[in-house]
């Protein structure tokens, strides 16, 4: 049996574009002699459609697309993800389903059992879980079809009380096929390989795994669809961070014709999130994920050009380099906005960076704007001394200048805040926290340095001095980040324990961090929830990003 994996990048709710893309892949598969074409989870509408699923009209559009696709299915079977209305008398109104299409007909519908409702996932919000399980018959093969999370319910404390493969194995299937929309994070490819291996070994069946690719606002799907024979050899893997399609032959003896790229013994076991932050872990993938995140945000929103405030610091430098890679140097504009507190080298470094990247750049000092604010506020501020208000005025003046240029010329402002700053509230709302997309918002400062070194791997793009000088917001004379925050080596490790690993204060202190610093850091995180609540979407690259996957009360009094 010839199985064709179609790893595609869908645009949420863009039914016309998605349908055309899907039908084109069916034709390509057929022309290569495929028996079965496999798409990803909820391919029809894109994943995650979120509350659009509440709209009957949206489901109707899904059904219309499915009809178009169904009529294009002749001489080949298709497995494709789409929502299905629940016609039972109780329960949520939809199933997260896979349609098996053949001979222009819906032959069978498989429903998802394990509905992820954690982190960025909300599937229990929309979907009822499957209550019965039937294998799909196609060209004489018996196929156990599962949907994404359905194969993840393993380990000693599974999250769900029912495991669909345990049900289907009783019907004697020949092969497992999983349709996924499984997002990237810097640990996830290892996890995914291990999960497939666990399933193959448990059920003694080969598995075909088709994942989505592409970025949907904050969530990056990395593709890397793959095929494993029943010996758990990895027999083929599709590209990472790109659309890709590939035909595999499943032989009657359960072997798979294809290049065996990884022997069984090389497939790693499931790794938990590492127990401390390794800033350079999978840095090349992390770089690619962010580049794809920027690229898809712009193309799916219909934008072309980005504007970035370039301070001469490392965060804006890395953001500029990533945006240039994603959008092209002709589509990225840097604005340098020195103040009286900017060091001379900041401007020189930022100019050199833009020359290296071949970006358009402009220098617009904010001194006169800042002075004007102070002068106009004088009747109220009177003899009060310089403080946070004055620092923030500078930051917001810059935000205002950037947004004005963005509005005038149709640019999108990219935000340069890193995860360490967002965690501790070390940023100004409507100032340096402004922007449409948070490029580095899921990277701790140490990871930003690792990205900078990765960007410079072949030649110096980010000037050396930007990487080596001590970080500073330059909002008052001789200011350094370390005046207000612990050193990043310590800070980032504490944050990682609290945010990624969800450890409490006692556990973190037991790791031999300074207890006073631990209490202070956790309090900073919890009391700055109100700032992050107004932050733009962040490209998610870690197992726990700020934003939709981390939901905290604002008015709480806990560790604060």
Judged by CB under 8 A, the chain residues 36 through 55 that form the site for its own copies are 46, 48-52, 54-55
By the 8 A CB rule, do 336 and 316 touch? no
**Considering only residues 91-110, where is the footprint of its own copies by CB under 8 A?**
91-92
> What is the distance between the alpha carbons of residues 223 and 182, in angstroms, rounded to a whole number?
8
Q: Which one from 41, 245, 474, 500 is the annotated catalytic residue? A: 41
- Does 11 help bind its own copies (rule: CB under 8 A)? yes
> What is the distance between the alpha carbons of residues 525 and 527, in angstroms, rounded to a whole number?
6
- Which regions of 224-343 does DSSP assign to beta strands (E)? 226-228, 234-237, 244-250, 256-257, 306-309, 332-336
User: Coil, strand or helix: which one is 37?
Assistant: strand
**Considering only residues 523-542, where is the footprint of its own copies by CB under 8 A?**
530, 533-537
Is 148 part of the annotated catalytic residue set?
yes
Which of 505, 513, 517, 520 is in the footprint of its own copies by CB under 8 A?
505
Residues in the chain: 560
Task: Look at strands 360-363 and 332-336 and give their pairing.
Answer: parallel
Contacts with its own copies: how many residues (CB under 8 A)?
99
By the 8 A CB rule, do 463 and 329 touch? no
- Does 489 help bind its own copies (rule: CB under 8 A)? no
Q: Which two tokens stand for residue 525?
A: 């995180």
Residue 481's nearest CA partner among 493, 489, 470 is 470
Which of 30, 85, 106, 122 is in the footprint of its own copies by CB under 8 A?
122
- Does 484 help bind its own copies (rule: CB under 8 A)? no
- Crossing angle of helices 283-301 and 445-455, in 10° steps, is 90
Q: Which two tokens stand for residue 474?
A: 């330059």
Binding mask of the shown chain, residues 231 to 270, with x at each position contacting its own copies by CB under 8 A: ----------------------------------------
**Considering only residues 170-229, where is the footprint of its own copies by CB under 8 A?**
215-217
64 φ/ψ sector (left φ>0, alpha ψ -120 to 50, else beta): alpha
CB of 470 to its own copies, least distance (A): 26
DSSP state of 491: H
Q: Which two tokens stand for residue 183?
A: 């997002």
- Does 441 help bind its own copies (rule: CB under 8 A)? no
Residue 308's nearest CA partner among 279, 272, 334 is 334
**Per CB under 8 A, which region of 136-144, 323-331, 426-434, 453-461 contacts its own copies?**
426-434
CB of 291 to its own copies, least distance (A): 16
* Of residues 158 and 515, the one with the C-beta less far from its own copies: 158
Radius of gyration of the chain (CA): 26
CB of 492 to its own copies, least distance (A): 20
Q: Quick one: CA dihedral 293, 299, 300, 305, positive or negative?
A: positive
- Does 375 help bind its own copies (rule: CB under 8 A)? yes
- Does 12 help bind its own copies (rule: CB under 8 A)? yes
CB of 393 to its own copies, least distance (A): 5
Which of 23, 58, 281, 513 is in the footprint of its own copies by CB under 8 A?
58
By the 8 A CB rule, do 111 and 101 touch? no
- Does 57 help bind its own copies (rule: CB under 8 A)? yes
Please tell me the chain's helix, strand, coil percentages from 3-state DSSP, rounded to the nearest 5. 40, 20, 40
CB of 300 to its own copies, least distance (A): 4
- Does 161 help bind its own copies (rule: CB under 8 A)? yes
- Does 132 help bind its own copies (rule: CB under 8 A)? no
Is 138 part of the annotated catalytic residue set?
no
Is 45 part of the annotated catalytic residue set?
no
- Does 364 help bind its own copies (rule: CB under 8 A)? yes
**Considering only residues 400-419, where is the footprint of its own copies by CB under 8 A?**
400-401, 403-405, 407-408
- Does 425 help bind its own copies (rule: CB under 8 A)? no
> What is the distance between the alpha carbons of residues 85 and 537, in angstroms, rounded to a whole number?
30
**Per CB under 8 A, which region of 124-132, 246-254, 341-349, 440-448 contacts its own copies?**
124-132
H or E stretch at 97 = strand 94-102
Which of 330, 507, 511, 514 is in the footprint of its own copies by CB under 8 A?
507
Show which residues are catalytic.
41, 112, 148
């Amino acid at each position: 049996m010839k199985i064709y994996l179609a790893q595609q990048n869908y645009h949420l709710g863009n039914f016309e574009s998605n349908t055309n893309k899907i039908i084109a892949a069916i034709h390509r598969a057929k022309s290569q002699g495929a028996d079965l074409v496999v798409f990803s989870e909820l391919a029809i509408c894109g994943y995650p459609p979120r509350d659009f699923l509440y709209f009957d009209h949206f489901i109707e559009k899904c059904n219309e697309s499915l009809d178009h696709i169904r009529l294009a299915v002749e001489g080949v079977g298709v497995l494709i993800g789409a929502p299905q209305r629940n016609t039972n008398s109780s329960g949520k109104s939809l199933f997260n389903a896979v349609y098996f299409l053949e001979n222009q007909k819906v032959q069978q519908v498989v429903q998802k059992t394990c509905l992820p409702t954690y982190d960025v996932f909300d599937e229990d919000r929309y979907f009822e879980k499957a209550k019965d399980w039937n294998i799909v018959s196609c060209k004489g093969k018996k196929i156990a079809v599962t949907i994404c999370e359905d194969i993840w319910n393993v380990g000693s404390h599974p999250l769900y009380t029912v495991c669909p493969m345990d049900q289907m194995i009783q019907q004697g299937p020949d092969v497992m096929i999983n349709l996924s929309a499984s997002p990237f994070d810097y640990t996830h490819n290892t996890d995914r390989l291990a999960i497939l291996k666990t399933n193959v070994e448990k059920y003694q069946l080969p598995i075909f795994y088709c994942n989505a690719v592409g970025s949907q606002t904050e969530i990056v799907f990395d593709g890397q669809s793959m095929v494993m024979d029943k010996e758990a050899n990895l027999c083929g893997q599709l590209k990472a961070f790109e659309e890709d399609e590939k035909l595999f032959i499943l032989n009657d003896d359960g072997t798979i014709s294809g290049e065996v790229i990884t022997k069984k013994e090389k497939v790693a076991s499931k790794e938990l999130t590492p127990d401390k932050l390794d800033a350079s872990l999978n840095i090349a993938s992390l770089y690619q994920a962010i580049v794809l995140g920027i690229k898809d945000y712009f193309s799916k929103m219909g934008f072309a050009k980005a504007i970035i405030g370039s301070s001469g610091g490392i965060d804006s430098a890395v953001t500029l380099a990533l945006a240039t890679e994603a959008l092209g140097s002709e589509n990225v504009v840097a604005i340098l906005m020195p103040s009286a507190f900017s060091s001379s080298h900041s401007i020189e470094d930022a100019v050199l960076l833009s020359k290296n990247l071949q970006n358009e750049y402009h220098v617009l000092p904010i001194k006169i704007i800042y002075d004007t604010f102070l002068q106009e506020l004088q009747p109220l501020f009177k003899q009060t001394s310089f403080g946070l208000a004055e620092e923030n005025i500078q930051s917001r003046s810059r935000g205002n200048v950037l947004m004005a240029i963005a509005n005038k010329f149709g640019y999108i402002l990219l935000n340069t805040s890193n995860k360490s700053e967002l965690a501790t509230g070390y940023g100004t709302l409507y100032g340096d926290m402004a922007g449409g997309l948070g490029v580095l918002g899921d990277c701790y400062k140490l990871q930003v340095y690792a990205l900078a070194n990765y960007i410079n791997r072949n030649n110096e793009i980010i000037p050396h001095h930007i990487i080596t000088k001590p970080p500073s917001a330059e909002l008052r004379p001789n200011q350094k980040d370390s005046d207000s925050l612990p050193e990043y080596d310590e800070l980032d490790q504490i944050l990682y324990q609290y945010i990624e690993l969800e450890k409490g204060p006692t556990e973190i202190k037991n790791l031999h961090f300074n207890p006073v610093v631990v209490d202070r850091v956790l309090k900073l995180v919890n009391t700055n929830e109100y700032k992050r609540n107004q932050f733009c979407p962040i490209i998610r690259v870690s197992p726990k990003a700020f934003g939709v996957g981390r939901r905290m009360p604002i008015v709480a009094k806990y560790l604060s």
